[in-house]
Amino acid sequence: MKRFFSLLVVAILAGVMTLGAYKMFLEPEAVVVTKNETTQKTNLIPTAYTATNINTAGTNVDFTVAAEKTVNAVVHVKQYGISKTPRNLMEYFRNGGTTERKIQGAGSGVIITEDGYIVTNNHVIDGATDLEVTLNNNKSYKAEIIGTAPQSDIALIKIDSDEKLSYIPFGNSNSAKIGEWVLAVGNPFNLTSTVTAGIISAKSRDLNEYDGNFQSFIQTDAAINPGNSGGALVNIRGELIGINTAITSQTGSYVGYAFAVPSNNARKIVEDILEFGDVQRGILGINGDNLTKQVMEKYDIDETQGVVITNVGEDSGAKKAGLKEGDVIKEIDGLRIKKFADLTGYVNSKSPNDIINVKIIREDRELNLPVTLSKYVIQRYNIEDVGVEVANPNPEYLKKFNLDHGVIISKALSPKMQRYNLEGLIISEIDSKKVKNVLQVKQIIESKYPEDDITISLIDRDGEKREFVFQN
């Protein structure tokens, strides 16, 4: 028996040694192939309620229907402008420091009507002297700017086509849910008609929480890159729920976080531009803050979600409805308000004189107050190229100069202008256009090209009209 086990052990050792020798000396060496992909660098750096009967339940979500519905309605927007910056030292010395040259930027846009109205981002078309729109079928058209809303980064442009165009209907962004599947459609890195998929990662996301300019974006993990700006964020029914606008990245490319302007806000801006020529913003008339630990302690509040009112504006809808400092806003029209961006996002989709129902907590009591929204009026504006700040004057002040229009210079901004004692003087016209308020001044200035001169008609303290030309 011992002899048998000895022979068995010897046989096993011999087999192992034979296999090892084969592996070491006879078997061919395995080859590992690594595919190195390179991509060309680009210079681009920087989105009618309908219902369809598509079943979106289940785990096997089909994106093909939404892609087919939307890919032909997302366009490539190219903008051309003028730069006066010298490209090199030779141009600097030869041309006295400036030279004009064509510059080009590119982004995306969404056709929203069959007759050629297109929504895009303001930063896609900002500063353009010419706009070119290319459809998915490679047809190109010249486009005109109909109106812009820089604060919301939305612009409306239009092309004229002999045929009816494919378009994307607006969806209700308030109904979009976290975790819902979405598609981002656009032209990243000049790759036309690109569709990527993801989910809604968050809603009412504010990217500038600490600068006082509260925003309300839809956050998605669908891949969005430079060139996607102005493109469509759609649900799997093919409805527009957002205009792709921004990414958060340390590299300049997508790293998992992308943001879109909600479709309800974009739709409201478009309707205002078409009806009034500018955006008619309704405001609640309050200042507020999120419920941080410090704020809760200051106002002795037990609530952890909502917006605490820190100030109520005089003559505002909030004041007339009875809202007070220290009230905590919990809901508006049944929509839960967890933070200030929730409030901003909803109110920005409303118009002046709209009535909203505000649910508040006041001293452990729940109150529902109807509030009529006031019209947002710009009070001050800096004309940087002139070097002055202007404000809306008291009508009685204008009457002293027999005027029914004009804005008042409230402050000189540049050292040069500060020497002339301009405070209190009236600007009656800009580029021969009468101005009645600060908003009109802002619209005229922001519609001009960077190289345009500005002609100011000024009423001096003796009531005499004088004209000044400020050259760029």
Residues with a catalytic annotation lie at: 123, 153, 229
Determine contact, residues 285/239, Cβ cutoff 8 Å: no
Residue 386 in 3-state DSSP?
Answer: coil
Residue 213 in 3-state DSSP?
Answer: coil
Cα–chain center distance at 63 = 25
Determine contact, residues 461/424, Cβ cutoff 8 Å: yes
Going from the C-alpha of 335 to that of each of 128, 250, 401, the distances in angstroms are 39, 34, 50
φ, ψ (nearest 5 deg) of residue 396: -65, -30
Q: Which residues are 186's β-sheet partners? A: 194
405 vs 467: CA distance, rounded Å: 16
**Residue the block writes with tokens 């060139």:** 227
Phi-psi region of 363 (alpha: psi -120 to 50; beta: other; left: phi over 0): left
Residue 61 in 3-state DSSP?
Answer: coil
DSSP strand pairing (307-312 vs 286-290): antiparallel
80 vs 460: CA distance, rounded Å: 40
DSSP code for 226: T
**Residue the block writes with tokens 């998915």:** 136
Burial of 257 by CB count in 10 Å (0-12 exposed, 13-18 middle, 19+ buried)?
middle
Residue 333 in 3-state DSSP?
Answer: coil
Determine contact, residues 346/336, Cβ cutoff 8 Å: no
| E strand or H helix at 276 | helix 263-276
**Residue the block writes with tokens 């202008």:** 417
Going from the C-alpha of 21 to that of each of 17, 25, 27, 106, 453, the distances in angstroms are 6, 6, 9, 63, 86
- The terminus-to-terminus CA distance of the chain in angstroms comes to 107
Residue 420 in 3-state DSSP?
Answer: coil
